[in-house]
Amino acid sequence: MGRTTGSDGEKTEAAVREAAVSLIARLGYEAMSMRQLAAEVGVQAAALYRYFPTKEDLLFTLMREHMQALIAEWEAARPATADPATRLAAYVENHIAFHIGRRHSTHVSNMELRSLSHDRLTQILRMRTAYEKELRAILRDGAETGVFNVDDTGLTAMALIQMMTGVIVWFRPGERLSVAEVTATYLAMTMRLVGATMSYSTAHPFGHAKDAAAR
């Protein structure tokens, strides 16, 4: 009853974050109790409040960092070229890689939005909108230069994002398909969907035969 030998604030906080993402993804935010989370970390429930003032603060922190990481990875992967097809290919590849790599975190950020307060919901949605805006810009450029055949930029962006993010619902690493195969197939579907007529280059030119060109 008191401080535990070898206890370390930073390690405990990291363990709490990790366990929380996993538990919330599996049980849902409302269904996960602070006592359950504490047990998973190997600590008493009261100890959690040293790191997160409330349960909602914990949820918000997880979501904010998820969105920040998503935006940061896209900014790192964004190609310098102005060619819409190449930019779209990079967006698809980055999006799928990120979401497959962070399935639990994505589940949390997509399914638990209603548990946030109004202000915090607005913050998260702002980040999401900023990320989606990048895709809309690519589609618009492609439509204007005639390399894409898109009816409605906004609608197509939403459809593509739903399609791509949906990969986490059914994809399980190590089963029938590899990440590279899934990415290649989604890339091909995306290019057909937007009616891409020109070739495009990809960040992984030697990964798979289908990567090389659209049609």
Asked if residue 169 binds DNA (CB under 7 A), the reply is no
Q: Whole-angstrom distance between the N-terminal and C-terminal Cα of the chain?
A: 67
Alpha-carbon distance of 47 to 199, in angstroms, equals 56
Tallying the residues shown for the chain, one arrives at 215
Contact partner at residue 133 from its own copies, DNA, none, CB < 5 to 8 Å by partner kind? none
Residues that contact DNA, how many (by CB under 7 A): 30
Binding residues for DNA restricted to 64-123, rule: CB under 7 A: none
Q: Would you say the C-alpha torsion 133, 105, 208, 182 has a positive or negative sign?
A: negative
The nearer residue to DNA, 42 or 154, going by C-beta atoms, is 42
Task: State which of residues 18, 56, 73, 134 lies at the interface with DNA (CB under 7 A).
Answer: 56
Under the rule (CB under 8 A), what is the footprint of its own copies? 26-28, 30-31, 111, 114-115, 149, 151-152, 155-156, 158-163, 165-167, 169-170, 177, 182, 185-186, 188-189, 192-195, 210
Alpha-carbon distance of 70 to 131, in angstroms, equals 8
**Ramachandran quadrant class, 146 (left: phi over 0; alpha: psi -120 to 50; beta: rest):** left
The nearer residue to its own copies, 15 or 137, going by C-beta atoms, is 137
Q: Which residue in the block uniquely carries the two structure tokens 């930019």? A: 87
* Contact set with DNA (CB under 7 A): 1-10, 12, 32-36, 38, 42-50, 53-56
